[in-house]
Amino acid sequence: LQAFKDVTLFCLLDSATLASVIPVMDKLGQLLTSAVLRKDKSKVLLTAPVKTALLAAKCTLNCYYATTNNLHVYRLAMILHPQYKLVYFKQHGW
């Protein structure tokens, strides 16, 4: 739950930009995927209902991600951002 809180607080900042939201969505998606697929013997065991909720969250995140993929303004924001430019797209196979 800490990851969701961190993402929410980050997106509420005045400094959050279109170009910063997509990498945050990537990181959150990776966290959800790793939590669902985790099979190690960690101290925290996830029950089936919790894993189902995580999968639903991942599905919802994927819907939002697909929406950003179809909007030109997000692509332009990434290309114009000095840190990302076209490198982000090459790394993610766009």
> What one-character-per-residue DSSP string does 8-44 give?
HHHHHSTT--HHHHHHHHHHHHHHHHHHHH--S--S-
Write the single-letter amino acid at 11: C
Residue 42 lies in a domain: no
Q: Which domain holds residue 26?
A: 2-37+48-91
Nearest Cα to Cα of residue 6 among 26, 18, 24, 29: 24
pLDDT at 42: 63
18 pLDDT above the threshold of 90: no
70 pLDDT above the threshold of 90: no
- pTM of the prediction? 0.70
Residue 43 lies in a domain: no
Write out the two tokens for 45. Answer: 């065991």
Residue 82 lies in a domain: yes
66 pLDDT above the threshold of 70: yes
As for how many domains the chain has, the answer is 1
Residue 55 lies in a domain: yes
Quick: pLDDT tens for 32-50. 888 888 766 666 677 889 8
Residue 58 lies in a domain: yes
